[in-house]
Amino acid sequence: MDFFDYKDGVLHAEDVSLARIADEVGTPFYAYSAATLTRHFQVFDAAFSKWPHLVCYAMKANSNQAVLKLLTDLGAGLDIVSGGELARAKALEVPGGRIVFSGVGKTDEEMRAALDHGIRCFNVESVPELHRLSEVAQEMGKTAPVSIRVNPDVDAGTHEKINTGRKADKFGISYARARQVYAEAAALPGIAVRGVDMHIGSQITTLAPFEAAFGRMAALVEDLRKAGIAIRHVDLGGGLGVPYHGDNDIPPPPEEYAAMVERVLGSLDVEYVIEPGRLIAGNAGVLVGRVIYVKREEGHTFIITDLGMNDLIRPTLYEAFHHIRPVKEPAPDAPLAQADVVGPVCETGDYMARARMLPPLARGDLVAVMTAGAYGAVQSGTYNTRPLVPEVLVRGGDFAVVRPRLDAEQIVALDKLAPWQVRNP
């Protein structure tokens, strides 16, 4: 469900034509739909309304201040993975009590900043991190609330680069050692055990891997309680997928997911912390660009656009599929032909789509890369000294630029010559 549709022959975000945004902002740009973000958050949150819970939106999916403001105003907490993301939360005055901190490499500085802000929970990912957190908290005269990320050794069956819950993945501590590490944590000064935590991967579209993992977590919670360790919450991680394709990758509805959670964990009487990212932001955004050339070589068609891998790296990094839609609605009987949609960056991996059946496209046409709201703009960069892609938030018939384009002059100005270098006169 999203709010990107053709109206009067032009693709719109809610009531705003993407062609109009292109005229005013230039291309490429990301456009987010406030109504879609709102709907996704509310449907997910409502699925858990019967039980104590906090939805901590995983802001690494899309951390634009305007997106965070919209979601936190609706009642979202935040899952952060760096001091930088904490800074984004603090800039919006999100209370520490609504923030959980994940990630395998928290530095002393990040721990201090998070303790200082009084965050709800550190999701600790290793024994060395646990000890360091104990020391940092004691130095500050504080107690760090923790849950330990346990790796339930479940294969989420998703893409290699977003599978996180197997033994060989770098995240969390092993299930086999969990009881022992919890006992160690409970005895450490400066540490207060609050919950258990897991996150098995991303873009998971069936309930089975979650159910297997939650079952293991339920058994763990029971054992920990028997050992006298109080567990107040279970952090279920994120990971529910979105329909990039729309045929074989349709995720279960949030109500079914929540019902399964309650079936497996309900008897524990715990609070649920859930960390969805992609599910909230994924199909709330599109990336719009313009065709620069159409090139035909040896039976191959390349649609060369101004959309580079620096703007959206998902196709090349994860072999991700994104639908490509012409902004001008194609005629219903338009012939389809196979083409690669590529960018101008000097890399073979610089593409948005390969061997795709597309309606006719010509120089100057606008195209939209769909379902680009999560892990899109946050991974954008300026490789090839390409301007940093702007972001636009649409609400009804209004739109606002919520991150301006960083142009070449601004990017160049970030570099400095060393003091011993003199500019040529």
Angle at 244 between CA 277 and CA 65, to 5 degrees: 35
Closest to ligand PLP by CB, 110 vs 275, is 275
Structure token pair of residue 125: 């990912």
Structure token pair of residue 86: 């904490």
Q: Which residues form the interface with ligand PLP (CB under 6 A)?
A: 58, 60-61, 79, 102, 199, 202, 237-239, 275-279, 374
Considering the complex, what minimum distance in angstroms separates the CB of residue 328 from ligand PLP? 32
Considering the complex, what minimum distance in angstroms separates the CB of residue 172 from ligand PLP? 9
**Are residues 171 and 239 in contact, defined by beta-carbon separation less than 8 angstroms?**
no
Say if residue 28 is preceded by a cis peptide, omega within 30 of 0.
yes
Considering the complex, what minimum distance in angstroms separates the CB of residue 99 from ligand PLP? 13
SS (H, E, C) the chain: CCCEEEECCEEEECCEEHHHHHHHHCCCEEEEEHHHHHHHHHHHHHHCCCCCEEEEEEHHHCCCHHHHHHHHHCCCEEEECCHHHHHHHHHCCCCHHHEEECCCCCCHHHHHHHHHCCCCEEEECCHHHHHHHHHHHHHCCCCEEEEEEEECCCCCCCCHHHECCCCCCCCCEEHHHHHHHHHHHHHCCCEEEEEEECCCECCECCCHHHHHHHHHHHHHHHHHHHCCCCCCEEECCCCECCCCCCCCCCCCCHHHHHHHHHHHHHHHCCEEEECCCHHHHHHHEEEEEEEEEEEEECCEEEEEECCCCCCCCHHHHHCCCCCEEECECCCCCCCCEEEEEECCCCCCCCEEEEEEEECCCCCCCEEEECCCCCCCHHHCCCHHHCCECCEEEEECCEEEEEECCECHHHHHHHCCCCCCCCCCC
Helices 65-73 & 34-47 angle (0-180, nearest 10): 40
Considering the complex, what minimum distance in angstroms separates the CB of residue 58 from ligand PLP? 3
Question: Which member of 1, 168, 331, 346 is catalytic?
Answer: 346
Considering the complex, what minimum distance in angstroms separates the CB of residue 141 from ligand PLP? 28
Considering the complex, what minimum distance in angstroms separates the CB of residue 73 from ligand PLP? 20
Considering the complex, what minimum distance in angstroms separates the CB of residue 102 from ligand PLP? 4
Closest to ligand PLP by CB, 96 vs 237, is 237
Closest to ligand PLP by CB, 238 vs 387, is 238
Closest to ligand PLP by CB, 275 vs 306, is 275
Closest to ligand PLP by CB, 277 vs 343, is 277
Task: Provide the 10 A C-beta neighbour count for residue 325.
Answer: 21
> How far is Cα 293 from Cα 174, in angstroms, rounded to an integer?
51
Considering the complex, what minimum distance in angstroms separates the CB of residue 282 from ligand PLP? 8
Across-strand partners of 197? Answer: 149, 235
Closest to ligand PLP by CB, 106 vs 278, is 278
Task: Provide the 10 A C-beta neighbour count for residue 383.
Answer: 15
Considering the complex, what minimum distance in angstroms separates the CB of residue 2 from ligand PLP? 16
Note if 346 is an active site residue: yes
**Token pair 């329909």: residue:** 243
Closest to ligand PLP by CB, 125 vs 306, is 125
Closest to ligand PLP by CB, 275 vs 391, is 275
Closest to ligand PLP by CB, 33 vs 102, is 102
Catalytic residues: 346
